[in-house]
Amino acid sequence: MINIIITSYSEPNATSKAIDCFLNQNIKQEFKITIIDPFSETETFLKKKYKKEFDKNKIGFFLDPGEGKSYALNVFLERIYSLLKAFEDEKVGCVTGKPVLLNPREKLWGYISHVAFAGIHKTRLKLSEQEKFFECSGYLFAIRNGVLQGFPLESSEDSIIPYLFNKQKYKIKYAPGAEVYVINPQNWKDFKLQKIRNIKAHENLNKIAPDMPRTKSLTNEIKQGALFALIYPRNVREVFFTIPLFSTRLYIYLKAFYEMKFKKQKYSDGWRKQETKSTRSLD
């Protein structure tokens, strides 16, 4: 049976859209959708809307203890351990999908995100073909059941989980045909908030997994991303967007490093206290 896990944080309408995407697909294998959310109101809303599916055990709900997504996934994985069927290729441990950006490319923040998404797509495609290690996308990835019974909470799950599989000699694969639609921050305040937290999560890997080959880092962005960003523009407007692209990326890295070193503001698992409102337009 395929277990589909959807994590949310009091986003019933957006969660409904995600559920409908799966229910409307022609999935031949037996599957179950489980929603993980820390609010019982979300469960009430979904049970009312999908009463038939809940009655048939096609949809389930797991109440997030409220300690963060990674913690909730850890607890839930313990409960469904050994229930999933193995991937067809027994050497594959993780498979990640392709995030597709919904932000308009014609606006600055949308363009900056398009460059980043296109760059990581190119990187994952290359590394997957070469059967080398790379980090998954937190928006959509699947793991082989029966291997991990937990993972550290000090970094993002899309980084540390593939690393743990790789340590056990499993391959990481990229499936660009499996798309997930994403809205990125649409203003400077939200962009800065989200990206700095993301950088802190990845920098924690230096402590908990120092031997991990890094996909996302300032060094890799400079070495592999700078030229890509320079040749990515299609028109004059996008050429001018490239200047703030470089300056904002450099700023958020420096800001993140400063907060970690001098203010001792480390990444910690848990739902964000400050909301990135411009990314919640689906709810």
Q: Are residues 57 and 69 in the same domain?
A: no
Mark out the alpha helices in the chain (DSSP H runs): 12-23, 40-49, 51-55, 69-80, 108-129, 157-167, 188-203, 205-208, 218-220, 226-231, 236-261
Q: Are residues 126 and 176 in the same domain?
A: yes
Last residue of a domain, one of 42, 64, 86: 64
pTM exceeds cut of 0.85: no
Nearest alpha-carbon partner for 118 in 187, 212, 184: 184
Look up the domain containing 30 and give its range: 1-64
- Using one digit for the tens of pLDDT, what is the confidence trace for 130-186? 999 999 998 888 888 788 878 887 788 899 999 999 999 999 999 887 778 888 999
Last residue of a domain, one of 11, 43, 64: 64
How does strand 141-143 pair with strand 92-101?
antiparallel
Nearest alpha-carbon partner for 43 in 69, 71, 73, 6: 6
pLDDT exceeding 90 applies to what percent of the chain? 43
Number of domains, the chain = 2
Q: Are residues 60 and 88 in the same domain?
A: no
Q: Side by side, which strands form the sheet with 31-37?
A: 2-7, 31-37, 59-63
- Using one digit for the tens of pLDDT, what is the confidence trace for 176-235? 877 788 889 999 999 998 899 888 888 888 888 889 988 888 888 898 899 999 999 999
pLDDT at res. 187: 92
Stretch 236-255: mean pLDDT, rounded? 94
In which residue are the tokens 């839930």 written?
Answer: 76
